[in-house]
Structure 1
Amino acid sequence: MTTTTSNLNNSSSKSINETVNGSHNFTVRGYSLAKGMGPGKYICSDIFTVGGYDWAVYFYPDGKNVEDSSVYVSVFIALASEGTDVRALFELTLLDQSGKGKHKVHSHFDRALEGGPYTLKYRGSMWGYKRFFRRATLETSDYLRDDCLSMHCTVGVVRNRVEGPKLYNIPIPPPDIGQGLKDLFDSQLGCDIAFQVGDENFKAHKLILAARSPVFRAMFFGLVGDTSMDKVALEDIEPSIFKDMLLFIYTDELPDLQEYSCSTSTCSSAVTLHHLLAASDRFGLDRLKQLCEAKLCEEVTVETVATTLSLADQHRCSHLKAICLKFAAAHLGEVMQSEGFKYLEESCQSLLSELLETVASVDDKGGQTVASKRSGSSIIGIAVAAEGSAAVDSGIPNGRRTRRRL
């Protein structure tokens, strides 16, 4: 007796219906000059392409039909290329130019259509509204400003595709260019430039440095650069900071700040970020500068805020500066006892003025800012905020006066 076993070949597929969307802004300038063209006469937008088809917006200032010529304006979206049974969704928006955002929107994207998407059967087929807007209302509305109308049109062309089972499954590893360049840096293979930083020497590749830093690009390949240069001595930067900066250039990653522990008085990771931010500004590494700024925003403390504030002001880090001012204003009594604040008093009078303004702003909004008086302090006028106290003027070193409550 012979037994036959048949193998069943199972398969599957799925049909995916989706829209390919695209938008076009159409502006009509000199609306008053377009009036009087007559019904059925239109102003046409430029051709735009969505989903492989050409489209255009048609604006009829005197209406599309004779019966509507004195009452309504008409707006349509037309198929401007050859096509048969093109199925699409549409949206027409008349933009409110007052800034209030009260746009007039006709859309099929945010609601189910009873009959499905519209079908345009040939070139010149249109979708839109004969009675899009009453002309008298339009001409007295915020949609018409400076004799100008603005419309936003969106077209979503329906596409269908069948997706079958994949015949392969090859795992794709994550990008590793950073690791490859780091290995090149570590091995010093092909290095053509050496940097003398303090007592340490670092080798690197001119092309990689030039690709990442406009300063290095100018140094090696600019009009006054020297392509034959093979050694550079750098001052005013610590060797460890320069190495971290080089590693960022090769890997696009910040150093591991967890390697830097916090002492009792100063957080070493914050100090490292301070130096890295200054170095990134010096060598035009904008991404590194922004990464340092973002990290420092998370590490503002009573001990570091004054130094960070000075650094942010010096290197034009507006977000970091704003956060430091708010933090210092909220913890002013403690901040005034820090070593960094002494530097602000001696060298950054303009920042003290901005700090006073921030304190005043916090106080005016109902915050409670407590500051301890210090002998010799240039902002000794800041004191404990007390309810019901009289308002007086407190002098500021640069001649400006800010109203404070003492």
Structure 2
Amino acid sequence: MEVEQSKTLYVQMFGNFQMKYNGHPLTGERLRDTHFTSLMQILLHNVSSGVSRDYLEDVLLGDRDVENRHQALQTIIYKAKRKLKKMGLPEDNYITLEKGIYYWTSKIAVKEDAAVFDRLCDMADKSRDEERQLSLYLEACYTYKGEFLSTYTGVLWAGAEARRYRKQFCDCVQRAASILRKREDWFRLEKLGRYVTVIAPFSDWECLIMEALVESGRHEEARKLYADTVDNYLKERGIYPSAKIMENMEKLGNQIRHSYEILDQIQQNLMEGSENIMGGYQCSYPVFRGIYHMVNRLMERGGQSVYLMLCTLVDSKGNPMKEGERLEEMSVRLGEAIRKSVRHGDIINQYGGGQFLVLLVNTTRENCDIIEKRINQNFITGRQRTGVQYHVNSVICEA
């Protein structure tokens, strides 16, 4: 763990913007001052090169109609110096102007996480020693704590830097993973995968965890991760994981092999738990998709009538419910109502926030209407204003 140096201003640009001096955070109302915060961000990110007066005016004043832009900038800097002194920094002329360029004072050392990240990446790229390369790439990955100035990406310069750092971070992860894969270091590959999926969610990094679990023989955990990943993408974003992640995870899933067992043991492991025996069969999206494929194949010779139903939570105006605690609560209730309303052999999947898929096997269109009424009876209580919107399609054999 790095020991912080006294008399050094530590600046965090990844994630939320923070400044710390002598172990104490410089926070409070002052950081909510837009001009002050914007000034500190761009100056401290460009400690070595400084920032030109014209560019600083553009960043801080934008297109506002200001009579004397130089004077307005000088006023902002004067107020910033006063605030810095009140925040506890040692007395100094914190911001200086030299030949049209503004600089942060050289008397107060600055350590910025983004600059550290840049330096680590550069050192790793130039190194010819694999062990040192891996160490530097991993250190760079763990230095990246989130999007560069995540709440300021609407600012042009900050948004451009955020994109640059995001790409650089992805490159570091891929290069570190490549070395770990080559060394079959599945423990550190899993650790890296779990870190990056939190820092950059919904970016397909779950493949790293899946690979580490499969290669280290933890097959049950790999299966659960596969199902949870697909469900999480659908529930949180209402989207499928990308074709790349689906393809990679299915490919890795196909590598899973069980140890030798007799048939009775295998059959026992395949049995459904008694706690799930009542009502319809609720499962993850990958399982639901596999069952759909299988039912479609069985229709070739069985002549069964199968329907796919989509149940969507709607508000009093008939619009899909929006994100929030209310949606989560109602989704739980709707899922329970559906499970109670369908038959033992019907299959259910929570497709996303407030949406459920139901595969109704060996039924008729008229029975689908009956099931809709049954779900409403189990779900709608009293003067409840939310309801359920239904769409039903016949499953057509694709053979």
> Is TM (by shorter chain) over 0.5?
no
Q: Which has the higher strand share?
A: 1
TM class by shorter chain equals: under 0.3
Larger Rg: 1
